[in-house]
């Protein structure tokens, strides 16, 4: 978050993230190239670059796609989510090297334009087994490049978070294209059971994690159907909310996160103003609710980013009756100060006992 423009808002975490990422990428390339030179001593430099960058980009895409569901399933993975944008842009650069070398190696030496050759050198578009797999990779690369070039807050602000996020969900389409690219390309040519097993494992991991997190998320979505007096709705016991964390819920169309901190409860809208990140999956750091995606911060009592920042979210009234937490789903305008609801220690202990007995 920033009040002044800066191309990249570097901080210690981002630098550390990028150093670790680049270190791991370099290690992968060294190990892969060494392995290839041992197994295929006659391999040419061009083929080595194509193989190294192709496998690396595909591996990185798998990791990128796994980070989201992993962070939703287990909060310990949230630090990986923080700078995923840099990981995505780096992956696109690696994929671009793969694409360029492929086009030079296989399409640039003839008397036909390389891009024309890419689409016309294999015209078995109607045959599944002999389908021109390079075209699939090219389309996926175009999508990844579109995403990488718009991976900046300039585009986020100008396109709006909703449009931007929808645009970036095209990565799933790109992933499907790349699965086809690999399965109809290298798998058909090499026929290696190891390659098939690795590709299958990657596919199973990515789809399995996404389906698992989607099912978990649907179970966790709280949609109370009873409305108590004064418009307040009973949502949970006080001990169901961890200290400095939140419980999230959908009440009607309101996406609410109730945070417990310093013996108090406050409720704000669950959507970060940056990229609609899930504020309720973040935690309170230095007295501020911190978005798990990119670290945008809000004060729990008024939903405002601390000065000089200007982002604001809606706030809600919270009540505590015995051990039960109630929230009024009628939102106050963005940044409206609402007094936090105090939490009595005795109530917390009673709630804990009640929960234990129920379990």
Partner 1 sequence: MTPALRKYHRHVWFFMAGLLPVIFIAAITVIPQKRPDPNFRSHQPEALPQVLKTVESLNFMLRLRASPDTAERQLELVIKQPLHTPATLVYLSNNEKAQPNDGVFLGSLGAKGTYRYKIGTAMLSQNNDVLLFDPIKNITIETLQF
* In the complex, minimum distance from the CB of residue 117 to partner 1, in angstroms, rounded to a whole number: 12
The DSSP code for 128 is S
Q: Does 36 bind partner 1 (CB under 8 A)?
A: no
Lookup: tokens for 286 = 């230095």
| H/E stretch holding 261 | strand 254-261
Out of 199, 256, 257, 299, which residue is the one contacting partner 1 (CB under 8 A)?
199
Number of residues that bind partner 1 (CB under 8 A): 40
Nearer to partner 1, 144 or 347 (CB): 144
| Selection from 337, 355, 343 nearest residue 299 by Cα | 337
Q: Does 218 bind partner 1 (CB under 8 A)?
A: yes
Nearer to partner 1, 69 or 320 (CB): 69
Task: Fill in the per-residue mask, 6 to 35: x = in contact with partner 1 (CB under 8 A), - = not in contact.
Answer: ------------------------------
| Selection from 137, 149, 151, 148 nearest residue 98 by Cα | 137
State whether the Cα torsion 276-279-282-284 is positive or negative.
Answer: positive
Q: Does 128 bind partner 1 (CB under 8 A)?
A: yes
- CA dist 50 to 29, 95, 138, 196, Å? 12, 9, 14, 19
| Total length of the chain | 359
For residues 174 and 136, the answer to whether their CB atoms sit within 8 Å is no
* In the complex, minimum distance from the CB of residue 173 to partner 1, in angstroms, rounded to a whole number: 9
For residues 261 and 252, the answer to whether their CB atoms sit within 8 Å is no
Out of 8, 37, 214, 321, which residue is the one contacting partner 1 (CB under 8 A)?
214
Q: Where does this chain touch partner 1 (CB under 8 A) — which range of 105-113, 137-145, 146-154, 313-321?
A: 105-113
Q: Does 187 bind partner 1 (CB under 8 A)?
A: yes
**CA 50 to the chain's CA centroid:** 28
Residues near partner 1, by CB under 8 A: 42, 44, 109-111, 128-129, 162, 165-166, 169, 172, 175-176, 179-180, 183-184, 187-188, 191, 196, 199-200, 203, 207-208, 210-211, 214, 217-218, 221, 250, 253, 255, 271, 276-278
């Amino acid at each position: 978050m920033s009040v002044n423009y800066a191309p990249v808002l570097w901080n210690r975490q981002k630098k550390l993230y990028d150093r670790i990422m680049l270190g791991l990428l370099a290690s992968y390339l060294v190990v892969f190239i060494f392995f290839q030179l041992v197994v295929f001593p006659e391999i040419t430099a061009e083929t080595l670059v194509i193989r190294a960058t192709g496998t690396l980009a595909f591996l990185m895409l798998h990791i990128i796609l796994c980070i989201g569901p992993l962070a939703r399933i287990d909060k310990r993975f949230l630090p990986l989510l923080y700078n995923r944008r840099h990981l995505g842009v780096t992956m696109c650069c690696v994929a671009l090297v793969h694409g360029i070398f492929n086009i030079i190696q296989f399409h640039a030496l003839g008397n036909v334009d390389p891009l024309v050759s890419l689409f016309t050198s294999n015209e078995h578009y109607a045959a599944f087994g002999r389908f021109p797999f390079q075209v699939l990779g090219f389309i996926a690369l175009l999508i990844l490049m579109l995403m990488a070039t718009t991976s900046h807050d300039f585009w986020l602000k100008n396109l709006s978070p909703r449009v931007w996020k929808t645009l970036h969900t095209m990565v799933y389409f790109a992933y499907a294209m790349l699965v086809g690219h690999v399965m109809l390309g290298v798998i058909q040519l090499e026929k290696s059971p190891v390659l098939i097993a690795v590709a299958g494992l990657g596919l199973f991991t990515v789809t399995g994690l996404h389906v698992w997190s989607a099912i978990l998320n649907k179970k966790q979505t709280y949609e109370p159907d009873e409305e108590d007096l004064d418009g307040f709705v009973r949502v949970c016991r006080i001990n169901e909310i961890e200290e400095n964390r939140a419980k999230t819920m959908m009440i009607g169309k309101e996406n609410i996160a109730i945070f417990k901190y310093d013996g108090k409860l406050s409720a704000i809208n669950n959507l970060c103003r940056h990229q609609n990140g899930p504020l309720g999956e973040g935690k309170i750091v230095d007295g501020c609710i911190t978005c798990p995606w990119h670290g945008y911060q809000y004060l729990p009592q008024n939903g405002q980013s601390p000065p000089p920042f200007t982002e604001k979210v809606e706030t809600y009234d919270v009540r505590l009756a015995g051990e039960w937490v109630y929230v009024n789903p009628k939102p106050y305008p963005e940044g409206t100060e609402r007094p936090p609801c105090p939490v009595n220690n005795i109530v917390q202990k009673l709630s804990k006992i009640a929960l234990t007995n129920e379990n």
